[in-house]
C-alpha cells in the first residue's frame, strides 16, 4: 500500500467575511433562520448541493464570489448583525442562571448513540436521535450545564432509494469530517487526544470530535485511527449497522470510551443521563473510575454512581434487541470484572432480570435500570407500560409503585416551526415566544391571529411542500431511468389546494404504514374526487434487516403507480430532517396509526401540531396527552386487541370513516371568502394546547427540576468529605440486607375511633362509615435492626374483584417503643375511610435511611404474608 501524506485545506475567507466561519461552526445557526438565510444568499445552488452544510459550502464557493460578497455592503452588514446576534444570544443570562445561580453548578453528561441536529450531520436514524438533538438545543437555550456524548459515524445511517419494484435499497455515503462543523480535541502538543478502551486481547483507541450546539458541547468518539487494527477502525462506521459484535463494540466505545473521554478532557460530570440502554456501560465505567480514584469497594462506588445516574427508556417492549449472550459478555468484558471488584456472576446479574437464570442474556436496559436512581419513560402511557414491563425487577411492588416515572417528549420549537410561522408568532405572541414557550398564557394569543394570515402562511407551507415533492419525484424518476413523458408527470403531481395528508416515519411493522391500503376501493374514491380531492404524501425508511418493513414500502409504492391515483398518492424517498420539515410545515393532516401501546411517544406529530397541522392518530404515545376535542382526531378510543387482524380491519375503516364523514367535509366547508374557518379554529386549538406542552424547553426544564438537580444535590452531599457518607450508607445497606430475612410482621390489631377493637380483621369484614379513621397497630420483629432502620407502612386503597388493592396510597406507621430492649417493636398508624366501597390494606416494611436515593430496593421489601 502506498504511503499517503495528508493535509487539510480550509477556505480562505476575505477579512470582512471571517465571521462566517464562526457561524458555520456552531450549529446554533440550525435553529435561527436568519443565519441559514445568509448562507443561501452566498450561493443557493451550492447551498443545496452541499446538503445545507455551510462548512462544506464555504469550502467550495469560488474565491471570486467571496470577494464579491466582501464588497457587498448589504451582505457584510447582514453578517455583522448575525454575528452580534449569536454573541448576545449565547452570552445572555439564562433560565438556569436565574433559577439555580446559588450553590455549586452541576455538570450533566447526556449519553446517546445518535444525535439528530441537522440533516448535514447524518449521525441519526430517527426519533431517538432527533429527540437527543432537540434536547441539546433546548439545554443550550435554557443554559443547562450539559454536555452530549455520542459517536461520530464515518458513514452514519443509510440513504434510501427504491428500485423500480419499490424495494428499498441502501446506500452509505462517507461523512467528510473535515467539511463538517466539528473539531478534533487536541492535546497541548497539538496531537489528537485519544482514549483507550480495553477490548479482547487488545486496546482500541478513539479520538474525540467536538461539535458546538449553541452553548452546549457535543463530544463524538471516532475509532477510525491508523493506530487501530482494521476491524476496530470500523467500529464507529455505521449507525445500527453490523452484527451483535459490532453493537457491543460500539456500546463499549460509547459508554466506557465516552466517560473516559470526558475525564481525559478534565470534565467530571456530577449527573450522567443514559438516553436509552445503548449507553449503559457508562455506569460501569463510572464505578471503575470511582474505585480506582477514591479507593472504594464495588458496593460503595456503585451506590455513589447510582445516586446520580438517570435513565430514559424508549422501548415499549421487553424483548428489545439491545442484549448480549453471556459468552459475548465474557469475551468483551471478562477483563473488566476484576477492575470492578466483582465476580462473573455478580457482573452478569447486573444485566439480568432473574440473576439465577444462567442463560438469560445481558440486557442493557436492565443494567441501566439497576445502575440508576431515577428512570423515566417518554410519555405518560409509556411510563405506565414501562412499569409493567420492568415490574419483574421489583416483583414485591404493586405495579403502579414501580419506580419508573415519565417525562413526556417534546420537540425544539424553533427547529421545527417554519420561518414564516415563527415570524407570525413573534408578531402575535411577542418576540420572546420561544423563550417563554412553556408559558400556557402566551399561547392564548393565537386567537388574536387573523384567520386570513394563519391560512395564508399555512398555504405557503403547502406550496413549498408541493414544489419540493415534485423536484424530489422527478429526481427519483430520473434515477430509475424513466421516460420523458413520465418526468412531465412529476411536474404536475399533487395540488396545493387539495386536502393533504402526511405520513412519514420509520417503516416498523407496529406503525402500520400500509393500514390505509386495506380498503383500496374506498381510498381510491377519496383520491379521485374532483370537487373535494384528497392527496397523500408518504415517506420513511425501513431498517436494512427489516424485510417486513420493506414489504410495506413496496406495497405503498405499487399502489402509487396505479394510474388513477398516481397524481394524488406519492412516496418520497430518503426521509430525513429536511424532508420532515417540509412535510410537517406543509400538510393539513398528520396521520399516525401505530398499534397501541407500541409507540412510546412519537414526536413527528408534535412537529406537525406546532405548525398548526391537525393530527389524526390512534390513542398512543404522546397523543393520549395531546388530543383535545376540537383539536385533532382520534382513531378508535384507545382499545387494545388480541386479534391483530381484526384490529387492523376496525381501525382502517375508522380512518376512512373519519376522512369521509368529518375531515374532508370540514376542510372544504368554506366561508364566502373561501376560508375554512372551522378548520382554522381547530388549528388554533391545536397550537394553543400542544405548543406549551410538547416542546423541549418544557421537557428539559422538567428533567432539570425532577431529575438533574435532585441528582446533582445528592451527588454533592453523598460524595462530600472524602466519600464518608456514601461509604457509611453502603455499609448500612449491607448490614440491613443481611438482617432482612429475620424481619417479620406480627400481631396486627385494628381499631375504629379508639374504642371498638376489630381484632386482626381476618374473621370479620366490618362495615365502616365514610369519614371514620381506622387505626392499625402491629408488632415488627426487628432482629438485628433498629426501629430507625425501617419504614413500616400501611398500603391501602380500594380492593378490586381479584382482591388486589388498586392505586394504593401509603401511610407511615410510627414507632411506639419497645424495639430497643425487646425482640418486637410496636408500630401504629391511621388510615382514613374517604369513599364508600370495598377497601383494604396491607402492611409492609421497607429500609429507611435519610441518604437513600430511592426507597425501593429489590429483595428488601417485606409484606405481611397471607398465611
Positions in the binding site for ligand PLP (CB under 6 A)? 126-127, 130, 505, 575-577, 580, 602-605, 607
- C-alpha angle with apex 397: 717 to 624, nearest 5 degrees? 90
Burial annotation 621-635 (CB, 10 A radius, 16+ → b, else e):
bbbbbbbeeebbbbb
Chain position carrying cell 429475620 = 742
CA 594/CA 620 separation, integer angstroms? 7
The least CB distance from residue 544 to ligand PLP, in Å, is 16
The least CB distance from residue 604 to ligand PLP, in Å, is 3
CA 254/CA 189 separation, integer angstroms? 26
Inter-axis angle of helices 73-91 and 33-42, to 10 degrees? 150
The least CB distance from residue 647 to ligand PLP, in Å, is 20
- With beta carbons less than 8 A apart as the criterion, state whether 249 and 231 touch: no
Q: Quick check: helix, strand or coil at residue 114? A: coil
In 505-622 the beta strands, taken as DSSP E runs, fall at: 534-539, 569-572, 589-592, 614-618
Q: Which is nearer to ligand PLP, 277 or 605 (CB)?
A: 605
In this structure, the number of other CB atoms found within 10 A of the CB of residue 123 comes to 26
Q: Which is nearer to ligand PLP, 35 or 575 (CB)?
A: 575
Q: Which is nearer to ligand PLP, 13 or 572 (CB)?
A: 572
DSSP class of residue 158 equals P
Strand partners, 273: 110, 310
Q: Which phi-psi region, left, alpha or beta, contains residue 630 (left: φ > 0; alpha: ψ -120 to 50)?
A: left
Q: Which is nearer to ligand PLP, 132 or 402 (CB)?
A: 132
Q: Using CA atoms in the order 255, 259, 261, 265, what is the torsion angle rounded to 10 degrees?
A: 160
The least CB distance from residue 580 to ligand PLP, in Å, is 3
Q: Which is nearer to ligand PLP, 109 or 606 (CB)?
A: 606
**Over 388-452, what HEC string results?**
HHCHHHCCCCCHHHCCCEECCCCECHHHHCCHHHHHHHHHHHCCCCCCCCCCHHHHHHHHHCCHH
The least CB distance from residue 790 to ligand PLP, in Å, is 44
The least CB distance from residue 149 to ligand PLP, in Å, is 22
- With beta carbons less than 8 A apart as the criterion, state whether 276 and 193 touch: no
CA 765/CA 663 separation, integer angstroms? 55
The least CB distance from residue 251 to ligand PLP, in Å, is 22
Burial annotation 661-694 (CB, 10 A radius, 16+ → b, else e):
eebbebbbeeeeeebbeebbebbbbbbbbbbbbb
The least CB distance from residue 443 to ligand PLP, in Å, is 21
The least CB distance from residue 687 to ligand PLP, in Å, is 18
Q: Which is nearer to ligand PLP, 139 or 609 (CB)?
A: 609
The least CB distance from residue 605 to ligand PLP, in Å, is 6
The least CB distance from residue 144 to ligand PLP, in Å, is 22
CA 713/CA 707 separation, integer angstroms? 10
CA 257/CA 235 separation, integer angstroms? 12
Q: Which is nearer to ligand PLP, 298 or 689 (CB)?
A: 689
CA 472/CA 699 separation, integer angstroms? 34
Chain position carrying cell 408500630 = 827
The least CB distance from residue 566 to ligand PLP, in Å, is 25
In this structure, the number of other CB atoms found within 10 A of the CB of residue 102 comes to 5
Whole-Å CA distances, 82 to 3, 73, 77, 118, 598: 44, 14, 9, 19, 43
Q: Which is nearer to ligand PLP, 506 or 775 (CB)?
A: 506
Q: Which is nearer to ligand PLP, 223 or 579 (CB)?
A: 579
Q: Which is nearer to ligand PLP, 38 or 539 (CB)?
A: 539
The least CB distance from residue 594 to ligand PLP, in Å, is 8
The least CB distance from residue 389 to ligand PLP, in Å, is 19
Q: Which is nearer to ligand PLP, 412 or 554 (CB)?
A: 412
The least CB distance from residue 35 to ligand PLP, in Å, is 20
The arrangement of strands across the sheet holding 814-817 comes to 756-757, 744-752, 773-781, 824-832, 814-817
The grid coordinates listed for 121 are 450531520
- 3-state class percentages of the chain: helix first, strand second, coil last, to nearest 5: 45, 20, 35
Q: Which is nearer to ligand PLP, 541 or 779 (CB)?
A: 541
Q: Which is nearer to ligand PLP, 605 or 829 (CB)?
A: 605
CA 493/CA 575 separation, integer angstroms? 19
Q: Up-side HSE of residue 212: CA atoms within 13 Å toward CB?
A: 15
Strand partners, 695: 411
- With beta carbons less than 8 A apart as the criterion, state whether 305 and 726 touch: no
Q: Which is nearer to ligand PLP, 215 or 698 (CB)?
A: 698
Q: Quick check: helix, strand or coil at residue 498? A: coil
Q: Which is nearer to ligand PLP, 146 or 577 (CB)?
A: 577
Q: Which is nearer to ligand PLP, 278 or 581 (CB)?
A: 581
CA Rg, the chain, in Å? Answer: 30
φ, ψ for residue 203, nearest 5 deg: -110, 150
Sort strands 814-817 and 824-832 into parallel, antiparallel or unpaired: antiparallel
Q: Which is nearer to ligand PLP, 541 or 727 (CB)?
A: 541
- With beta carbons less than 8 A apart as the criterion, state whether 144 and 212 touch: no
Q: Which is nearer to ligand PLP, 365 or 594 (CB)?
A: 594
The least CB distance from residue 118 to ligand PLP, in Å, is 11
The least CB distance from residue 781 to ligand PLP, in Å, is 52
CA 454/CA 423 separation, integer angstroms? 11
The least CB distance from residue 498 to ligand PLP, in Å, is 24
Amino acid at each position: 500500500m502506498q504511503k499517503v501524506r495528508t493535509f487539510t485545506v480550509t477556505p480562505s475567507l476575505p477579512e470582512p467575511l471571517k465571521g462566517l466561519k464562526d457561524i458555520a461552526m456552531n450549529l446554533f445557526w440550525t435553529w435561527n433562520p436568519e443565519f441559514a438565510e445568509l448562507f443561501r444568499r452566498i450561493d443557493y445552488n451550492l447551498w443545496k448541493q452541499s446538503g445545507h452544510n455551510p462548512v462544506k459550502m464555504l469550502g467550495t464557493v469560488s474565491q471570486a464570489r467571496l470577494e464579491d460578497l466582501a464588497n457587498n455592503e448589504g451582505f457584510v452588514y447582514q453578517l455583522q448583525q448575525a454575528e452580534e446576534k449569536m454573541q448576545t444570544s449565547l452570552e445572555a443570562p439564562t433560565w438556569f442562571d436565574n433559577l439555580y445561580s446559588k450553590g455549586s453548578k452541576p455538570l450533566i453528561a447526556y449519553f446517546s448513540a445518535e444525535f439528530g441536529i441537522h440533516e448535514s450531520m447524518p449521525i441519526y436514524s430517527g426519533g431517538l436521535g432527533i429527540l437527543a438533538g432537540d434536547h441539546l438545543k433546548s439545554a443550550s437555550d435554557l443554559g443547562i450545564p450539559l454536555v452530549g456524548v455520542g459517536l461520530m459515524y464515518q458513514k452514519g445511517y443509510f440513504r434510501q432509494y427504491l428500485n423500480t419494484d419499490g424495494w428499498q435499497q441502501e446506500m452509505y455515503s462517507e461523512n467528510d469530517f473535515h467539511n463538517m462543523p466539528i473539531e478534533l480535541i487536541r492535546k497541548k502538543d497539538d496531537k489528537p487526544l485519544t482514549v483507550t478502551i480495553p477490548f479482547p486481547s487488545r486496546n482500541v483507541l478513539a479520538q474525540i470530535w467536538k461539535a458546538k450546539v449553541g452553548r452546549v458541547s457535543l463530544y463524538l468518539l471516532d475509532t477510525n485511527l491508523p493506530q487501530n487494527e482494521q476491524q476496530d477502525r470500523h467500529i464507529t462506521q455505521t449507525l445500527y449497522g453490523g452484527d451483535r459484535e459490532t453493537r457491543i463494540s460500539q456500546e463499549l466505545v460509547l459508554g466506557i470510551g465516552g466517560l473516559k473521554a470526558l475525564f481525559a478532557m478534565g470534565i467530571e460530570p456530577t449527573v450522567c443521563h443514559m438516553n436509552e440502554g445503548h449507553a449503559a456501560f457508562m455506569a460501569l465505567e463510572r464505578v471503575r473510575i470511582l474505585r480506582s480514584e477514591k479507593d472504594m469497594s464495588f458496593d460503595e462506588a456503585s451506590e455513589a454512581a447510582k445516586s446520580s445516574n438517570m435513565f430514559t427508556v424508549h422501548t415499549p417492549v421487553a424483548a428489545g434487541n439491545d442484549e448480549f449472550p453471556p459468552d459475548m459478555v465474557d469475551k468483551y468484558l471478562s477483563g473488566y470484572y476484576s477492575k470492578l471488584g466483582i465476580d462473573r456472576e455478580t457482573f452478569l446479574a447486573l444485566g439480568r432480570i432473574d440473576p439465577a437464570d444462567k442463560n438469560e442474556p445481558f440486557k442493557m436496559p436492565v443494567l441501566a435500570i439497576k445502575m440508576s436512581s431515577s428512570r423515566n419513560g417518554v410519555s405518560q402511557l409509556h411510563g405506565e407500560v414501562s412499569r409493567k414491563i420492568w415490574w419483574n425487577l421489583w416483583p414485591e411492588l404493586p405495579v403502579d409503585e414501580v419506580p419508573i416515572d415519565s417525562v413526556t417528549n417534546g420537540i425544539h420549537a424553533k427547529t421545527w416551526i417554519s420561518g414564516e410561522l415563527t415570524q407570525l408568532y413573534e408578531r402575535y405572541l411577542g418576540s420572546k415566544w420561544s423563550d417563554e414557550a412553556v408559558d400556557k398564557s402566551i399561547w392564548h394569543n393565537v386567537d388574536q391571529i387573523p384567520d386570513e394570515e394563519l391560512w395564508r402562511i399555512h398555504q405557503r407551507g403547502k406550496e413549498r411542500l408541493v414544489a419540493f415533492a415534485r423536484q424530489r419525484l422527478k429526481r427519483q424518476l430520473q434515477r430509475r431511468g424513466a421516460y420523458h413523458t413520465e418526468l412531465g408527470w412529476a411536474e404536475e403531481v399533487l395540488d396545493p389546494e387539495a386536502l393533504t395528508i402526511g405520513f412519514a416515519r420509520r417503516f416498523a411493522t407496529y406503525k402500520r404504514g400500509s393500514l390505509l391500503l386495506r380498503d383500496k376501493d374506498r381510498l381510491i374514491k377519496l383520491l379521485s374526487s374532483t370537487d373535494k380531492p384528497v392527496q397523500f404524501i408518504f415517506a420513511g425508511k425501513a431498517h436494512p434487516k427489516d424485510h417486513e418493513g420493506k414489504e410495506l414500502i413496496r406495497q405503498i409504492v405499487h399502489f402509487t403507480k396505479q394510474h388513477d391515483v398516481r397524481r394524488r398518492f406519492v412516496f418520497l424517498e430518503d426521509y430525513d430532517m429536511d424532508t420532515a420539515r417540509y412535510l410537517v410545515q406543509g400538510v393539513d393532516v398528520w396521520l399516525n396509526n401505530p398499534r397501541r401501546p407500541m409507540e412510546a411517544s412519537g414526536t413527528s406529530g408534535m412537529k406537525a401540531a406546532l405548525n398548526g397541522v391537525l393530527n389524526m392518530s390512534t390513542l398512543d404515545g404522546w397523543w393520549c396527552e395531546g388530543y383535545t376535542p376540537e383539536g385533532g382526531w382520534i382513531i378508535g378510543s384507545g382499545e387494545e386487541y388480541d386479534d391483530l387482524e381484526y384490529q387492523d380491519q376496525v381501525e382502517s375503516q375508522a380512518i376512512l370513516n373519519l376522512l369521509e364523514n368529518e375531515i374532508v367535509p370540514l376542510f372544504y366547508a368554506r366561508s364566502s371568502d373561501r376560508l375554512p374557518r372551522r378548520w382554522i379554529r381547530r388549528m388554533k386549538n391545536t397550537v394553543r394546547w400542544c405548543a406549551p406542552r410538547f416542546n423541549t424547553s418544557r421537557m428539559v426544564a422538567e428533567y432539570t427540576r425532577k431529575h438533574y438537580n435532585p441528582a446533582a444535590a445528592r451527588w454533592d452531599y453523598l460524595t462530600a468529605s472524602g466519600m464518608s457518607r456514601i461509604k457509611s450508607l453502603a455499609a448500612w445497606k449491607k448490614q440491613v440486607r443481611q438482617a432482612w430475612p429475620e424481619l417479620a410482621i406480627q400481631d396486627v390489631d385494628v381499631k375504629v375511633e379508639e374504642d371498638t377493637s376489630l381484632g386482626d380483621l381476618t374473621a370479620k369484614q366490618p362495615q365502616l362509615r365514610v369519614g371514620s379513621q381506622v387505626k392499625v397497630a402491629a408488632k415488627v420483629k426487628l432482629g438485628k435492626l433498629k426501629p430507625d432502620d425501617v419504614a413500616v407502612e400501611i398500603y391501602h386503597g380500594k380492593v378490586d374483584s381479584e382482591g388486589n388493592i388498586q392505586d394504593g396510597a401509603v401511610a407511615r406507621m410510627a414507632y411506639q417503643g419497645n424495639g430497643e430492649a425487646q425482640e418486637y417493636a410496636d408500630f401504629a398508624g391511621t388510615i382514613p375511610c374517604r369513599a364508600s366501597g370495598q377497601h383494604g390494606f396491607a402492611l409492609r416494611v421497607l429500609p429507611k435511611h435519610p441518604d437513600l436515593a430511592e426507597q425501593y430496593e429489590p429483595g428488601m421489601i417485606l409484606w405481611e404474608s397471607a398465611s
